Amino acid sequence: MRALVKPTAGPGLELLDVPEPTPGPGEVKIRVLRAGLCGTDLHIESWDDWAASMLKPPLVVGHEFYGEIVELGEGVPTGGQYGLEVGQRCSVEGHVVCGTCRNCRAGRRHMCVNTSNLGVNRDGCFADYVVVPHSNVWVQPDLIDPDLGAVFDPLGNAVHTALSFPLEGEDVLITGAGPIGVMAAAIVRHAGARYVVVTDLSESRLEQARAAGADLAINVGERRIASAKEELGMTEGFDIALEMSGSPHAVRELIGCMTHGGRVAMLGLPAEPFDIDWGKVITHMITLKGIYGREMYETWYKMTAMLQTSEVLRDRIRSVITHRFPAEQWQDAFDAARSGQVGKVIMDWS
């Protein structure tokens, strides 16, 4: 089969012919139809310090995808409401957990201390076929098309972050208008926030945020976040903030714009440690909550359920996909994603 492989330790990837995988006990073989590019994949291609510390080549990369079940390994549950069957269409949770650590046993599988990541620690989805544990398969209804199904991994990050705190009637700030930030804006609007404000330095990304439902999209290269208070008639500050950028400047400005008792969910990963105003965090009683991945599998349920209820939400989430490439043009796909001038980039493996 075709597979996009990190063949050796170093920069670059290669599209190679490799043996087709066979599912072992408890595993499912899936024909990949669509796959999304993530910032993680760009780190792996360039072979930065993080990638060098995590990967052991040769390895098939990629972890965001939608496909069709083609084979079940021995012992995979079948039949009934929750069983798997050949021919079902699905998305896949890319975090493979141990099932035995304290968090796994307590039902907090997204906090597993022994997580193995698809496309990082085990062969991934940039290929014609991929094998995953049956428990990682999320069967999708017909309403979820291949493009939507391919972005469920990053959409899950957005939903996990956005739904960390109650949103009804709240004023919400989202710093960072990458694909996850834009999807978060759509979710926050769908969930009943009063005002949704999104910040970024890219006008094209801010325009995507407006189309996704943001009331105000602020270019922080030109104006400050605090100006939103007067423009929207807010009397105190933001109730909820979702930090999606990993920017120290964004975090510092965000904290200064929160109301007393404000709550901040932080998903964006900074490149380096940085200082923040802990005095303000303490005296304003601000809650900071780190977010990683998706809650397994409550976030997945909420994603599918919300998308089933609203064509507007489906269109807004789908709108983050700005570029599509056939798998053979993988280098063009990576170059587009790396340009920073696009939304979500999807590769077609069908």
pLDDT tens track for 118-147 = 999 999 999 999 999 999 999 999 999 999
Note the pTM of the prediction, 2 decimals. 0.95
Band of pLDDT at residue 213, cut at 50, 70 and 90:
very high
Taken in order 52, 55, 60, 63, the sign of the CA dihedral is: negative
Residues constituting the chain:
350
- Write out pLDDT tens, residues 92-122: 999 999 999 999 999 999 999 999 999 999 9
Nearest CA among 85, 271, 243, 277 for reference residue 175? 243
Q: Which residues contact 274 (CB under 8 A, 6 or more apart)?
A: 248, 251
Catalytic option among 8, 22, 43, 175 = 43
In whole angstroms, how large is the CA radius of gyration of the chain?
A: 20
With cut-offs at 50, 70 and 90, classify the pLDDT of residue 67: very high
- Calpha distance 189→84 (Å, rounded): 34
Does the active-site annotation cover 43? yes
What is the rounded average pLDDT of the residues 204-216? 96
Residue 37 has pLDDT above 90, yes or no: yes
How much is the mean pLDDT over the chain? 96
Q: What average pLDDT does the segment 186-208 reach? A: 96
- For residue 99, give the amino acid letter: G
The Cα–Cα gap between 35 and 52 comes to 23
| pLDDT value for 176 | 97
pLDDT tens across 191-200, in order? 999 999 999 9
- For residue 40, indicate whether it is catalytic: yes
Q: Give me the catalytic one of 8, 22, 40, 110.
A: 40
341 has pLDDT over 90: no
Which of the four pLDDT bands, split at 50, 70 and 90, describes residue 340? Answer: confident
Q: Are strands 116-117 and 14-17 parallel, antiparallel or unpaired?
A: unpaired
Q: Are 179 and 343 in contact (CB under 8 A)?
A: yes
- For residue 173, the tally of other CB atoms under 10 A from its CB is 28
